[in-house]
Chains A and B, each alone.
Chain A
Amino acid sequence: MRGCFVLLAMAAVGLAADPAQEFTSNVKPLLLQNCAACHNPAAAGGPAPFLKAANVADMDKSRGLWRNVATQLRNRTMPPRDSKLAEEDRIRIAAWIEGQLRSTACNTGDFAGPAVTRRLNRREYHNTIRDLLGVDYEVTAILPADGTGGAGFDTNGETLYIPALLLERYMEAAQQILDRVIVTPPVNKTFDLQSPVSIPIYLEGPYDLTASYESPRETEVRLAVKVDGAEVGSFAKYIRRINSARPIPGPAIVRMQVNLNRGTHTLSLEPAATAEGLKLVSLTVSQRSEAPSPEKRASHYRLFGLEPYEQPGQARKAAQRMLESFLPKAFRRPLQAGEVDRFLAMYDRAAGRGDPFEERMKLVLRTVLVWPDFLFRIESKHNEPGIYPLSQHELATRLSYFLWATSPDEKLLRLAEDGRLQDAKVLTEQVDRMLDDPRSRKFYNSFMGQWLGTQDVGGRVVPLLTELQSYYTPDTAADLRAQPVLLLDRIVGENRSLLELLTADYTHLTKRLAKFYQMDEKGLIDAEFRLVQWPDNKRAGLLGLGGVLALTSRYKETSPVLRGAWALDTLLGTPVPPPPPDVPELKNDGPAKKTSMREKLAAHRANPTCSACHRLMDPIGFGLENFDWMGRWRDKQDNGSPVDADGELPSGEKFTTPQELRTALMSRKSEFVGNLTARMMGYALGRSLQDGDDCTVQRIAQALEKDGYRGRTLIREIVLSLPFRNTQGGASVQSEPTLSKRPLSISEINARKQDASSHNNLVKDKVVPKR
Chain B
Amino acid sequence: MSRRIPRRTLLRGAGAALALPWLETMAPGAKPAAGTAGKEDRLSEPPLRMAFMFLPNGVRPAQWTPKGDGEDYEITHHLKPLAPFQQDFLLLENLWNKNSVGRNGHWPKVPIWLSGGYVQRTTADDLDTGAISIDQLAAQKLGHLTRLPSIELGHEPPRTGIDVAGGGFARLYGSFISWRDRHTPVPKEIVPQLAFDRLFRNNRSPVVSSVNPKDPSLLAALQRDETSVLDLVMERAKDLKRAGSASDRVRLDEYFESVRSVEQRLEATMRPQKRWINEGKFPLERPGAGIPQSHAEHVKLMLDIFILAFWTDSTRIGTFMFGDAQSPMDYSFLEGVRGNFHGLSHHGHDVATETMYGKIIDWNIEQLAYFLGRIKGLDEGGSSLLDNSMIMFGGTLKDGNSHSVEDLPILLAGKGKGTLRPGRRVRAPEHTPICNLYVEMLRRMGLEEKSFGDSTGPLQGLA
Q: Are the CB atoms of B5 and A117 closer together than 8 Å?
A: no
CB contacts (< 8 Å) of A465 on chain B: these are 330, 332, 338
Q: Are the CB atoms of A161 and B185 closer together than 8 Å?
A: yes
Interchain nearest-CB distance for A354 vs B (Å): 9
CB contacts (< 8 Å) of B16 on chain A: these are 204-205, 259-261
Q: Does B261 touch A at the CB level, under 8 Å?
A: yes
Q: Does B340 touch A at the CB level, under 8 Å?
A: yes
Interchain nearest-CB distance for B32 vs A (Å): 9
Q: Are the CB atoms of A561 and B165 closer together than 8 Å?
A: yes
A567 to B247, alpha carbons, bound, how many Å? 34
Q: Are the CB atoms of A263 and B127 closer together than 8 Å?
A: no
Q: Are the CB atoms of A731 and B246 closer together than 8 Å?
A: yes
- Using an 8 Å CB-CB cutoff, how does the interface string of B396-431 with A read, 1 for contact, 0 for none? 000101101110000000000000000000000000
Q: Are the CB atoms of B3 and A370 closer together than 8 Å?
A: no
- Using an 8 Å CB-CB cutoff, how does the interface string of A555-579 with B read, 1 for contact, 0 for none? 1100001100100010000011011
Q: Does A326 touch B at the CB level, under 8 Å?
A: no
Q: Are the CB atoms of B172 and A259 closer together than 8 Å?
A: no
Q: Does A265 touch B at the CB level, under 8 Å?
A: yes
Q: Are the CB atoms of B232 and A345 closer together than 8 Å?
A: yes
A460 to B340, alpha carbons, bound, how many Å? 10
- Using an 8 Å CB-CB cutoff, how does the interface string of B185-197 with A read, 1 for contact, 0 for none? 1110111001000
A737 to B253, alpha carbons, bound, how many Å? 7
Q: Are the CB atoms of B187 and A575 closer together than 8 Å?
A: no
Q: Does B181 touch A at the CB level, under 8 Å?
A: yes
CB contacts (< 8 Å) of B165 on chain A: these are 561-562, 565, 569, 576, 578-579
Question: Which bracket fits the contact residues of A?
Answer: 35 or more
A402 to B348, alpha carbons, bound, how many Å? 45
- Given known A-B contacts A163-B258, A228-B208, A373 and B236 have beta carbons under 8 A apart: yes
Interchain nearest-CB distance for A119 vs B (Å): 7
Interface residues of B in 140-168 (CB under 8 A from A): 156-162, 164-168
Q: Are the CB atoms of A158 and B125 closer together than 8 Å?
A: yes
Residue B183 contacts which of A152, A455, A734, A742 (CB distance < 8 angstroms)?
Answer: A742
Q: Does B20 touch A at the CB level, under 8 Å?
A: yes
Binds A, one of B218-226, B273-281, B303-311: B218-226
Interchain nearest-CB distance for A295 vs B (Å): 21
CB contacts (< 8 Å) of B404 on chain A: these are 768, 771
Q: Are the CB atoms of B184 and A739 closer together than 8 Å?
A: yes
Residue A755 contacts which of B17, B120, B258 (CB distance < 8 angstroms)?
Answer: B120
Binds B, one of A93-101, A241-249, A759-767: A759-767
Interface residues of A in 19-73 (CB under 8 A from B): none
Residue B194 contacts which of A142, A157, A734, A768 (CB distance < 8 angstroms)?
Answer: A142
A204 to B259, alpha carbons, bound, how many Å? 25
- Using an 8 Å CB-CB cutoff, how does the interface string of A152-166 with B read, 1 for contact, 0 for none? 101011111111111
Binds A, one of B84-92, B99-107, B384-392, B438-446: B99-107
Q: Does A229 touch B at the CB level, under 8 Å?
A: yes
Binds A, one of B46-54, B68-76, B237-245, B374-382: B237-245
Interchain nearest-CB distance for B305 vs A (Å): 15
CB contacts (< 8 Å) of B190 on chain A: these are 144
Q: Does B198 touch A at the CB level, under 8 Å?
A: yes
Q: Are the CB atoms of B258 and A164 closer together than 8 Å?
A: yes
Q: Does B118 touch A at the CB level, under 8 Å?
A: yes
Among B104, B186, B259, residue most surrounded by chain A Cβ atoms (within 10 Å) = B104
- Using an 8 Å CB-CB cutoff, how does the interface string of A219-240 with B read, 1 for contact, 0 for none? 0000010111111110000000
- Given known A-B contacts A227-B17, A229-B35, A771-B404, A381 and B248 have beta carbons under 8 A apart: yes
Q: Does A371 touch B at the CB level, under 8 Å?
A: yes
Residue B198 contacts which of A168, A201, A367 (CB distance < 8 angstroms)?
Answer: A168
Q: Does A1 touch B at the CB level, under 8 Å?
A: no
Interface residues of B in 267-303 (CB under 8 A from A): 289-290
Among A163, A453, A467, A687, residue most surrounded by chain B Cβ atoms (within 10 Å) = A163
Interface residues of A in 192-232 (CB under 8 A from B): 198, 200-202, 204-205, 224, 226-232
A621 to B183, alpha carbons, bound, how many Å? 37
CB contacts (< 8 Å) of A141 on chain B: these are 191, 289-290
Q: Does A252 touch B at the CB level, under 8 Å?
A: no
Q: Does B42 touch A at the CB level, under 8 Å?
A: no
Q: Does A607 touch B at the CB level, under 8 Å?
A: no
Q: Are the CB atoms of A117 and B2 closer together than 8 Å?
A: no
Q: Does A372 touch B at the CB level, under 8 Å?
A: yes
- Given known A-B contacts A158-B124, A687-B125, A736 and B253 have beta carbons under 8 A apart: no
Q: Are the CB atoms of A166 and B187 closer together than 8 Å?
A: yes
Q: Are the CB atoms of B236 and A372 closer together than 8 Å?
A: yes
Q: Are the CB atoms of A742 and B237 closer together than 8 Å?
A: no
Q: Does A291 touch B at the CB level, under 8 Å?
A: no
Q: Are the CB atoms of A740 and B181 closer together than 8 Å?
A: yes
CB contacts (< 8 Å) of B316 on chain A: these are none
- Given known A-B contacts A75-B121, A767-B102, A381 and B208 have beta carbons under 8 A apart: no
- Using an 8 Å CB-CB cutoff, how does the interface string of A250-286 with B read, 1 for contact, 0 for none? 0000000111111111100010000000000000000
Q: Are the CB atoms of A372 and B233 closer together than 8 Å?
A: yes
Q: Are the CB atoms of B229 and A463 closer together than 8 Å?
A: no
Q: Are the CB atoms of A171 and B208 closer together than 8 Å?
A: no
Q: Are the CB atoms of B248 and A262 closer together than 8 Å?
A: no
Interface residues of A in 369-422 (CB under 8 A from B): 370-373, 375-376, 378, 381, 383
Q: Does A337 touch B at the CB level, under 8 Å?
A: no
Nearest B residue to A380 via CB reads B243
- Given known A-B contacts A232-B17, A264-B221, A585-B402, A147 and B172 have beta carbons under 8 A apart: yes
Residue A149 contacts which of B4, B34, B118, B125 (CB distance < 8 angstroms)?
Answer: B125
Q: Does B368 touch A at the CB level, under 8 Å?
A: no
Q: Are the CB atoms of A585 and B232 closer together than 8 Å?
A: no
CB contacts (< 8 Å) of B223 on chain A: these are 263-264
Among A260, A373, A456, A578, residue most surrounded by chain B Cβ atoms (within 10 Å) = A578
Q: Does B33 touch A at the CB level, under 8 Å?
A: yes
A611 to B259, alpha carbons, bound, how many Å? 53
Nearest A residue to B344 via CB reads A555
Residue B19 contacts which of A226, A228, A569, A582 (CB distance < 8 angstroms)?
Answer: A228
- Given known A-B contacts A450-B160, A768-B101, A259 and B246 have beta carbons under 8 A apart: no
Q: Are the CB atoms of A164 and B246 closer together than 8 Å?
A: no
Q: Does A461 touch B at the CB level, under 8 Å?
A: yes
Q: Does A293 touch B at the CB level, under 8 Å?
A: no
Nearest A residue to B407 via CB reads A771
Residue A578 contacts which of B168, B208, B222 (CB distance < 8 angstroms)?
Answer: B168
- Given known A-B contacts A200-B222, A346-B228, A763-B98, A588 and B10 have beta carbons under 8 A apart: no
Residue A171 contacts which of B2, B226, B252 (CB distance < 8 angstroms)?
Answer: B226
Q: Does A116 touch B at the CB level, under 8 Å?
A: yes
Interchain nearest-CB distance for B350 vs A (Å): 6
Q: Are the CB atoms of B259 and A737 closer together than 8 Å?
A: no
A366 to B262, alpha carbons, bound, how many Å? 15
Interchain nearest-CB distance for B258 vs A (Å): 4
Q: Does A2 touch B at the CB level, under 8 Å?
A: no
Q: Does B204 touch A at the CB level, under 8 Å?
A: yes
- Given known A-B contacts A229-B35, A259-B15, A755-B120, A738 and B220 have beta carbons under 8 A apart: no
Nearest B residue to A149 via CB reads B124
Q: Does A306 touch B at the CB level, under 8 Å?
A: no
Q: Which residues of B contact A (CB under 8 A)?
A: 2-5, 7, 10-11, 14-20, 23, 33-36, 61, 98-99, 101-104, 118, 120-127, 132, 156-162, 164-168, 170-172, 175, 180-187, 189-191, 194, 198, 201-202, 204, 207-208, 217, 220-223, 225-226, 228-229, 232-233, 235-237, 240-241, 243-255, 257-259, 261-262, 265, 289-290, 328, 330, 332, 338-340, 343-344, 348-350, 399, 401-402, 404-406
* CB pairs A–B below 8 angstroms (13 shown): A156-B124, A158-B125, A159-B172, A162-B258, A167-B255, A171-B229, A171-B262, A342-B235, A578-B165, A731-B245, A742-B250, A763-B102, A768-B404
Which 7 residue pairs spanning A and B have beta carbons closest together? A150-B125, A261-B16, A149-B124, A147-B172, A688-B125, A762-B102, A740-B181
12 additional A-B residue pairs with CB within 8 Å, beyond A258-B17, A579-B167: A75-B121, A117-B247, A150-B123, A230-B20, A263-B223, A346-B228, A463-B340, A565-B164, A585-B349, A592-B350, A737-B253, A768-B101
